[in-house]
Amino acid sequence: MLVHICCSVDSHYFLSELQKVYPEEKMIGFFYNPNIHPKSEHDLRLLDVRRSCEMLGVELHEGKYDDADWTQSVRGLEDEPEKGERCSVCFDVRLIESAKMAQTLGQKTFTTTLLSSPMKTQQVLFAQGDKIAQDFGLDFVKIDVRSNGGTQKQNELSKKDNLYRQNYCGCKFALQKQREKQGRFPLEFISPVSGQVMPGSIEYRNAVFAKRDELEKHNKPYILTQQTQLIWRCLSAKVSGADGVIPSYILAHSCSKKSVRLGQLLWIDVPEIGRVGYSRRDDSVFLTLEGLNALLHVDYQSVEELCKNPLHYQDELHLRSQIAPAHSLIPIVIIQKELEGDMRLEINSVFQEERVFEVIEIKMT
């Protein structure tokens, strides 16, 4: 039997139950989800599905990530609500490809782990699965694993086996609406061009689950937790003077500023820090690249280099704690050298609470 897999949380429990109902049937998994945005999130879910299938002894095949074709297939349905017409088209895209894979592998039956998702309408999936199965000369297996506490058991199993539990269905349109309803910025839509790994990002989640896999590989005990953290992102920033834009780097946890006139900076010697520039009109603080190099024992030659190869996020927070109170939100700006003259500062930043996955290794005594 070919089983289309959408994610490990749904598939882990679904496959376990399917193996109980069909103990003599060989289960073949097929991960095909071009709807998942962005690709880094798709790859993380695929990584977790591989782990789940290995745990369950299920053979896994991986479909192509063709998000451009998927986007074309749902054109005109971008504003449809969750469980609406866009979702129906998305089901068809994935189930049709699954039926083709079943034929290629010589399977007569297929099904989908979407049936276990509380975000999907089960009867709609039954009908679509039957129609597509008929078109391809196959049988669609309809099974209800949600009833009688199934959804709760699914959640318990995903936590017990330390699965990656994503917090949105997958597609960018549903994600946008979900975040708007929550009053939160969709962090999944942005990624630093510098490649800096920041808490709350998909890249950070990838690193966390890579650590999980590495600890398991070496049989080291650990716990997987989700911790509420205050997440910060700088969406845009500009420092300008009489001669135009000044190359700069905005330190983590700097709050927003709407084109604030700073006046001429007052540069003073601060013990154990060095030369620091203070605005005469605002709470913004400036540090030269030389000062940053001295404080963190690094060797950046230019602000442009710093922007392309930034500090580790924790190093930025450490630097902030040396210049200002550890939990301050004042803008701290790195510039090449001390400057004279009137300056302006504009920052557009976001702060919001997020549940962040963390892996904690248990040290044996």
The CATH number given to whatever domain includes residue 42 is 3.40.50.620
Number of domains in the chain: 2
Answer yes or no: do 239 and 123 share one domain: no
Euclidean distance between CA atoms 261 and 343, whole angstroms: 6
Q: Is residue 314 helix, strand or coil?
A: helix
User: Smallest Cα–Cα separation from 212: which of 11, 365, 362?
Assistant: 362
Q: Are residues 144 and 248 in the same domain?
A: no
Does some domain include residue 194? no
**Location of structure tokens 């939160």:** 184
Judgement on whether residues 155 and 260 belong to the same structural domain of the protein: no
In a domain? residue 237 = yes
At 207, list the tokens: 């690193």
CA 220/CA 214 separation, integer angstroms: 9
Q: Could you give the CA distance from residue 279 to residue 214 in angstroms, rounded to a whole number?
A: 47
Cα distances (angstroms) measured from residue 128 to each of 109, 134, 244, 331: 14, 10, 60, 54
Separation CA 257–CA 284 (nearest Å): 9
Report whether 284 contacts 330 (CB < 8 A).
yes
SS3 101: helix
Count Cβ atoms within 10 A of the Cβ of residue 164 and give its class: 0-12 exposed, 13-18 middle, 19 or more buried: buried
303 and 164 part of one domain? no
In a domain, 207, yes or no: no
Co-location of 244 and 170 in the same domain: no
Helix boundaries (H) for the chain: 8-21, 39-56, 67-73, 85-104, 122-136, 150-160, 172-182, 202-217, 289-296, 303-308, 313-323
One pLDDT digit (tens) per residue for the chain, 365 residues: 999 999 999 999 999 999 999 999 999 999 999 999 999 999 999 999 999 999 999 999 999 999 999 999 999 999 998 889 999 999 999 999 999 999 999 999 999 999 998 777 888 899 999 999 999 999 999 999 988 898 899 999 999 999 999 989 899 999 999 999 999 999 999 888 888 999 999 999 999 999 999 999 999 999 999 999 999 999 999 999 989 999 999 999 999 999 999 999 999 998 888 899 999 899 999 999 999 999 999 999 999 999 999 999 999 999 999 999 988 999 999 999 999 889 999 999 999 999 999 999 999 87
What confidence score (pLDDT) does residue 344 get? 95
Would you state the structure tokens that stand for residue 79, as one six-digit string? 């504003």
Angle between helices 85-104 and 122-136 (to 10 degrees): 40
Are 185 and 261 members of one domain?
Answer: no
User: What are the backbone dihedrals phi and psi of residue 89, each rounded to the nearest 5 degrees, phi first?
Assistant: -65, -40
Q: Clarify whether residues 152 and 246 are in a common domain.
A: no
Q: Give the pLDDT of residue 271.
A: 87
Type of residue numbered 127: A
Question: What's the confidence (pLDDT) of residue 274?
Answer: 87
Domain that holds residue 58: 2-189
Q: Is 178 in contact with 168 (CB distance < 8 Å)?
A: yes
Q: For residue 123, what pLDDT is reported?
A: 87
CB 300 within 8 A of CB 186: no
Q: Is the dihedral of CA 327, 330, 333, 338 positive or negative?
A: negative
Listed residue (112, 90, 139) closest to 31, CA to CA: 112
Question: Which of 254, 339, 265, 248 shows the shortest CA–CA distance to 302?
Answer: 248
How do beta strands 342-361 and 139-140 pair? unpaired
Tell me if 154 sits within 8 A of 13, measured CB to CB: yes
Backbone CA torsion sign across 279, 284, 289, 293:
positive
Sequence letter at residue 253:
H
Asked if residue 148 and residue 72 are part of one domain, the reply reads yes
